[in-house]
A and B are shown apart, each in its own frame.
Chain A
Amino acid sequence: EVKLVESGGGLVQPGRSLKLSCAASGFNFNDYWMGWVRQAPGKGLEWIGEINKDSSTINYTPSLKDKFTISRDNAQNTLYLQMSKLGSEDTAIYYCARSLGADYWGQGVMVTVSS
């Protein structure tokens, strides 16, 4: 069974950083592109970016590029999202998803940016 489990969310003060993790199981992690998507409260879905199998290609939605860094550790079957200089506009549920077609999603992790 394909399983993606995000962790690392919570309450963070404006201007601070946070790193999310996505633990993958049930498939060969090394064989798939992975992506991050977020959803602000009551809003639609927003694609943050994606990383290819060996981390040689990482793409970000241009408006978010300066705030996020995506990485992965294939030995640990884990995807990461480093977030910096967070603002209230970054309050959202953050999802990891498998492949560019986002065929499987994690349950999401809430990040709340507030003082």
Chain B
Amino acid sequence: DVVMTQTPVSLPVSLGGQASISCRSSQSLVHSNGNTYLHWYLQKPGQSPQLLIYRVSNRFSGVPDRFSGSGSGTDFTLKISRVEPEDLGDYYCLQSTHFPRTFGGGTKLELK
């Protein structure tokens, strides 16, 4: 299985500040079709996860441009600029290049 290592586990931030979350995979996430299937989700307390970024760097419908994704191969980053209260919660990366699909362990974004 592809192991997704997400860091940090906890990320204290100030409102208006910036946050960066890393997701590293144990093998390349480049599919044989050339696409990289690495996605980012936010799970707010008591809610279902919601898709933020798909295929590394594409913002999902309605996601503010404060969220950006980057990376390639085995190393990926989610950046959140100008953190707002509604950004707090648990962030997960998911790889769907390889089977079985695997999630990162999660990063809790909380107020400093």
Interface residues of chain A, those whose CB is within 8 Å of chain B, are 35, 44-47, 49-50, 59-62, 95, 100-108
Contacts and interface: CB of A to CB of B under 8 A. Distances in A.
Q: Give the 7 A-B CB pairs with smallest separation, nearest first.
A: A61-B100, A47-B101, A105-B48, A100-B96, A45-B103, A44-B106, A103-B51
Contacts of B41: 45, 102
A35 B94 CA distance: 13
Given A44-B92, A44-B104, A47-B103, 18 more contacts: A44-B103, A44-B105, A44-B106, A45-B49, A45-B94, A45-B106, A46-B103, A47-B94, A59-B100, A61-B100, A61-B101, A100-B101, A101-B51, A101-B94, A102-B39, A105-B50, A106-B48, A107-B48
A27 B101 CA distance: 24
B102 A47 contact: yes
Interface residues of B, number: 23
A105 B49 contact: yes
Contacts of B60: 103
Nearest to A50: B101
Contacts of B48: 95, 105-108
A60 B101 CA distance: 9
Contacts of A49: 100
Contacts of A45: 41, 43, 49, 92, 94, 103, 106
Contacts of A60: 100
B55 interface: yes
Q: Which of A45, A50, A60, A107 has the most CB of B within 10 A?
A: A45
